[in-house]
Amino acid sequence: QVQLVESGGGLVQAGGSLRLSCAASGRTFSRYTMGWFRQAPGKERERIAALHWTGGSTYYADSVKGRFTISRDNAKNTAYLEMNSLKPEDTATYFCAAAYGGNSVGPYNYWGQGTQVTVSS
């Protein structure tokens, strides 16, 4: 069982940066592939980044590639999403999720409650 808590969202101007954190409970965090998703009002949830539990591979959606970076610190049981060059279209609720031993597509069994990111133009 893993509980995930996101933080770091907020209001930022276009071109700015934010770093989201996802703090996980449990002792086996290192065995979880971590993913970041987002959902804007009226749109479907979108998988935007994932980091394999081995650290050997990452996934980025085309919409964020080159601007966002996913990372993790297993000693702190925390995953991060560094977001640079933010655009108004990045405005959404951002969720982290965990897939035990899974690859970047999941299945993601555990989800955080989400953190709001708003990018003003």
CA atoms of 33 and 108, how far apart (whole Å): 8
The per-residue pLDDT for 15 is: 98
Six-digit token pair at 4? 């995930």
**Which phi and psi angles does 66 have, rounded to 5°?**
90, -10
- The conformation of residue 4, written as its DSSP 8-state character, comes to E
- Cβ atoms of 102 and 31 closer than 8 Å: no
**Which phi and psi angles does 67 have, rounded to 5°?**
-115, -35
What is the DSSP annotation of 6-71?
EE--EEEETT--EEEEEEE-SS-GGGEEEEEEEE-TTS--EEEEEE-TTSS-EEE-TTTTTTEEEE
CA atoms of 25 and 61, how far apart (whole Å): 27
The two beta strands, 115-120 and 10-13, are parallel
104 confidence band (pLDDT: 50, 70, 90): confident
For the stretch 22-79, pLDDT in tens is 999 987 999 999 999 999 999 999 999 999 999 889 999 999 999 999 999 999 999 9
